[in-house]
Amino acid sequence: MRLLDDGAKKGKVMKELLMMKGAKTLVDVATKVQAGETVLLVTDYAKTDIAQAVAAVACDRGAEVMIMCMKPRKRAGEEPPAAVAAAMKNADVVIVPVSYSITHTHAVKNAAAAGARIIVMTDFTPEVMMHGGIEADFDQIKPTCIAVAKALETAEEIHITSPGGTDLRFNTKGRRGNALYCVVEKGQFSTIPTIEANTTPIEGTAEGIIVCDASIPYLGIGLVDEPVICKVEGGFITEIKGGRAAEILRKDLASHADKNSYNIAELGIGLNPKCRMCGIMLEDEGVLGTCHIGIGTSLTLGGVTKAPCHYDLIMWHPTIVADGKVIFDKDHPTL
C-alpha cells in the first residue's frame, strides 16, 4: 500500500511539473503578464488544479494574483455570478479555466470593453496543458489568422461546402472578422489553444444545409459517430437529423424554449496545425482542415443575438468562398 501511495504522489508531482509548460505559455506568451499587474483566475470546482498552476507562474512574475472559484455553470453561455463579473472588469488580465464556456456572455464582453486581456480555457484538462494545440507557435500563425479574418470582414456573401454535404450561404456585410490566435492585447479576448478566424452572419440570411461530421464538443457529445444534418432557413435551424448526437442536440435546444438558440451565429475556421480532434472544444475547434458553425449567441463576436447557449458544429475539409473567391480550400487558407 505504501508503494502505491508513493507512486501516486510521484505521478501527481510529475503531472504538475508538465502542466507548468502550458502555464508558462499562458502567462508569458498569451497574456504577457507584467510585474504589478492584477491577474484574475476565474475557475470552478472541477478546474482548480489548472487555475493553481497558472496562478503559480503569474505570482512568480510579480503579479497580484487572485483566484475566484464558482460553481460550474449549468450550460455553455450562462453568465458567471455578479461578483465574478465585477471583478473581471477590474483586472488587467483574466484567465478562465472553466468546465462550461462563459465566452459568449456579457461578463466577457464587458471585461474586454473595460480593457482586460482575457484568455478563455473551456473544458481544459491537464493533458491539454501539456501537449497538443498549446505547443503551436502562436506568433508564427498570427499573420495567417489575421489575413483570413480580414477576408471574412471585407466579404458580403459567404458560401461553405464540404465533402460531407454542407452547403450553406449567408450575408456578412459590415460584420467584423475576428482573429483569435491565442495572444491578447488590452481589450481583447481569445480562446486557447484553438487558433481561428471567425465572423457572424447577418441575422436571418443563412440558408442551406449544415453537415457536422467531426465533433460537437458540448452536452457530452464530443466526436460524432454519425453526421448531424441541420436544415437552415431564414437564419435559423429548422430541422435536425442524425443519430445519438442529433437527438441530444435537438432535445437540448428545445429545452431552452427560445428561438434564438437555433440562430446561425458564427463561421469559425480552424488554423492550428497542432490541435487534435479529440472531443475537447478548444482543441477540436482549432484543428486545421475544419470549420465550425456556431449556433445561438453571436453578441460577443460582433452579432446582435443573445441566446441561452452557444454550441459549435464542426465539419471536416470545408471549402469557403467569400464573394466568389476561395479563401479556404478543404485543408488550408488560399490567401
On whether residue 312 sits in a domain, the answer given is yes
Question: Which range is least confidently modeled, 56-70, 118-132, 145-159, 258-272?
Answer: 118-132
Tell me how far apart the alpha carbons of residues 118 and 95 are, in angstroms, rounded to a whole number: 6
11 has a pLDDT exceeding 80? no
State the amino acid at position 213 in one-letter form.
D
| 6 confidence band (pLDDT: 50, 70, 90) | low
Q: What is the mean pLDDT of residues 70-77?
A: 90
Q: Does the residue 132 lie in any domain? A: no
The more confident residue out of 12 and 331 is 331
Per-residue model confidence as pLDDT tens digits over 103-132: 889 999 999 999 999 999 998 999 999 999
Asked whether residue 244 is domain-assigned, the answer is yes
Confidence category of residue 35, pLDDT binned at 50, 70, 90: very high
Residues 213 and 240 in one domain: yes
Asked if residue 303 and residue 199 are part of one domain, the reply reads: yes
| Whether residue 284 sits in one domain with residue 165 | yes
pLDDT at 4: 46
Whether 61 and 157 map to the same domain: the answer is: no
Residue 13 and residue 73 in one domain? yes
**Confidence at residue 16, expressed as pLDDT on a 0 to 100 scale:** 76
**Phi, psi for residue 65 in degrees, rounded to 5:** -110, 135
Q: Where in the sequence is the domain holding 328, given as residue range(s)?
A: 137-178+193-333
Whole-number CA gyration radius for the chain: 19
**Quick one: which H or E segment has residue 179?**
strand 178-180
Grid coordinates in use for 57? 507562474
Please tell me the pTM assigned to this model: 0.88
Residue 183 lies in a domain: no
Check whether residue 141 and residue 120 sit in a common domain: no
Reported as a single tens digit per residue, the pLDDT across 140-164 is 999 999 999 999 999 999 999 999 9
Q: Say how many domains are in the chain.
A: 2
Residue 262 lies in a domain: yes
Question: Per DSSP, what are the bridge partners of residue 13?
Answer: none
Measure the N-to-C terminal CA separation of the chain; round to a whole number of Å. 60
Average pLDDT over residues 94-100: 96
The verdict on 17 and 119 lying in the same domain is yes
Residue 319 forms beta bridges with which residues?
161, 329
Q: Let me know if residue 105 belongs to a domain.
A: yes
CA distance 226 to 321: 26
Taking all residues of the chain, what is their mean pLDDT, rounded to a whole number?
Answer: 94
162 and 285 belong to one structural domain: yes
- DSSP secondary structure string for all residues of 132-155: SGGGS-HHHHHHHHHHHHHHHHH-
For range 209-232, the mean pLDDT: 97
Q: For residue 81, which of 109, 119, 43, 36 has the smallest C-alpha distance?
A: 43
Look up residue 139 and give its three cell numbers: 506568433
When comparing pLDDT for 114 and 2, which is higher? 114
**Looking at residue 76, what is its pLDDT?**
84
Percent of the chain with pLDDT strictly greater than 70: 96
Q: How many degrees, rounded to 5, is the angle at CA 71 between CA 182 and CA 59? A: 50
In a domain, 184, yes or no: no
When pLDDT is cut at 50, 70 and 90, the band that residue 9 belongs to is: low
Nearest to 186 by CA among 278, 295, 289, 111: 111
Q: Which residues pair with 171 in a beta bridge?
A: 157
| pLDDT computed for residue 335 by the predictor | 85
Same domain assignment for residues 151 and 46: no
Rounded Cα gap, residues 152 and 134, in angstroms:
25
3-state SS class at 266: strand
Residue 85: strand pairing partners: none
CATH no. for residue 9?
A: 3.40.1830.10
Instruction: Give a yes or no: residue 129 inside a domain.
Output: no
